[in-house]
Structure 1
Amino acid sequence: MTMSRTRMSPHARRRQFIDLGVGLAQEQPLETITIDAVAEAAGVSKGLLFHYFESKADFHLAVVREQADEMLARTAPRDDLDDPLATLHASVGAYVDYVAHNGKGFVGVIRGSASADEDIRAVADATRAAMSERILDHGAALGIERSPVIEMTIGGWMAYIEELLVRWLSDPVVERDELVELMVAALPMLTGLVDD
């Protein structure tokens, strides 16, 4: 049964739709989220959604952008830690916590690079690039000098932790803290293999 429609400002209504989409994406793959389901959850007609989004694909893109922005915000390096490895540890821990909370939503963001939708692929690629750039920006403090080989290595490390997270979501064979340690320990080992 649909709730009675509540009058909202255009900004608040759009925000409501995106928040509902993000919530649904935590439980199911993005591509299975229908406009009908979002409209029913909001207590409005699906026609109203198309007043705010050009298409289902446009709505899905808005949801993926929101998820990506939230993931980047939650995993931002902390300024209150003096030890660069502690900073890395805190960011990776926040990443794992985000994933544990968002499940399928996380998979939708990082697996967006395999999407048939060019715009969703672009969001996934930009998110991955932003996270890699953070490591490179803090590289000197970690004893990592930026170079094309190091950039490639950091990209490989990002792919490694993404794959660990996807597997961990489906089969959590290790505890959260052990997973974080595994990810953090891999970065110095990988970059240490690169000759100056």
Structure 2
Amino acid sequence: MEAVKRTRMSPEERRAQLIDLGARMLAERPLEQISVEEIADQAGVSRGLLFHYFASKHDYHLAIVQHAGAEMLVRTEPDLTLPPLEILRSSVVAYVDYVSDNRNSYVSLLRGAASGDPEMRDEFERTRSALAARIMDQLPRLGIEPGDRIALAVRGWIAFVEETAISWLREPVISREELIDLIVTALPAVTLPAPVAAALLGQA
């Protein structure tokens, strides 16, 4: 990366710039290898100024993780104007496109050293909970009545999606479309009786 020409910014703009630089660097290296010295140099500010916005290197890394989670939620926001099953497919398409565009950072966050940090895990959990809440909100439109059993199945499906996506990014043994179909059909399969799931997916 080339250093950014130093310009005057508001505190909010400067903080956002520092986080954005970290998120861009995350695409090239694991989170734990993002250096605050290098970020400060890229931003054209002193290391001391960076710590004016973030109490520690850990806090800065945590802000990058929060930024990545928020970006994924924005990118996968469901289009509620679509028919129910198409809402699910469009969100899965957006998710697969997001992880494909951010493969290094995605794998680094979920499988790298950051995944062992309690505060980082809390951030990952917040993102997963937001995704689960979106799905639970839309299930009645698919004829699925939310409840404790369904909520547990949805969380299991999210874990399946993460592991499947990481495996596919490392070794894409099936096509992108096949991956999307696998993820989409898995949700009704784990939340509904087999005949009902097959009818919903047009496989009866």
Deviation at 1:58, TM superposition (A): 0.4
Q: Which amino acid aligns with 1:59?
A: Y
**CA deviations over 1:77-97 (Å, ceiling 9, x no partner):** 10221x211000000100111
- Counterparts of 1:110 and 1:143 in 2: how far apart (Å)? 32
Aligned to 1:87: 87
Cα-to-partner distance string for 1:39-92 (whole Å, 9 max, x where unaligned): 1221222222111111000001111111111111111110221x2110000001
What is the percentage of aligned positions where both structures have the same residue?
48
Pairing 1:51–2:52 present? yes
Match status 1:175 vs 2:167 = no
Q: Distance in 2 between matches of 1:39 and 1:114?
A: 21
State the superposition RMSD in angstroms.
2.1
What is the match of residue 15 of structure 2?
Answer: 14
Q: What is the alpha-carbon distance in structure 2 between the residues aligned to residue 191 and residue 131 of structure 1?
A: 16
Runs of 4+ in structure 1 displaced over 4 angstroms?
A: 1-4, 108-114
Counterpart secondary structure, 2:173? coil
Matched residue type, 1:129? S
**1:134 pairs with 2:134:** yes
Deviation of 1:8 after TM superposition, in Å, equals 1.8
Aligned partner of 1:189 in structure 2 is 189
CA contact (8 A) 1:29 1:105 kept: yes
Q: Equivalent residues in 2 for 1:118-133 (5 A)?
A: 118-133=118-133
Going from structure 1 to structure 2, the CA distance change for 1:183 and 1:113 (only over 3 Å counts) comes to: farther
TM-score in terms of structure 2 length = 0.87
SS in 2 for 1:139: helix
CA contact (8 A) 1:30 1:60 kept: yes
Which residue number corresponds to residue 39 of structure 1? 40
Distance 1:112 1:130, change over 3 A: farther
Paired amino acid for 2:177: D
Q: 1: distance between equivalents of 2:41 and 2:113?
A: 30
Residue 199 of structure 2 corresponds to none
Matched with 2:200 is: none
Distance 1:114 1:16 in 2: 22
**CA–CA distance in structure 2, aligned partners of residues 2 and 72 of structure 1:** 29
* 1:115 aligned counterpart, secondary structure: helix
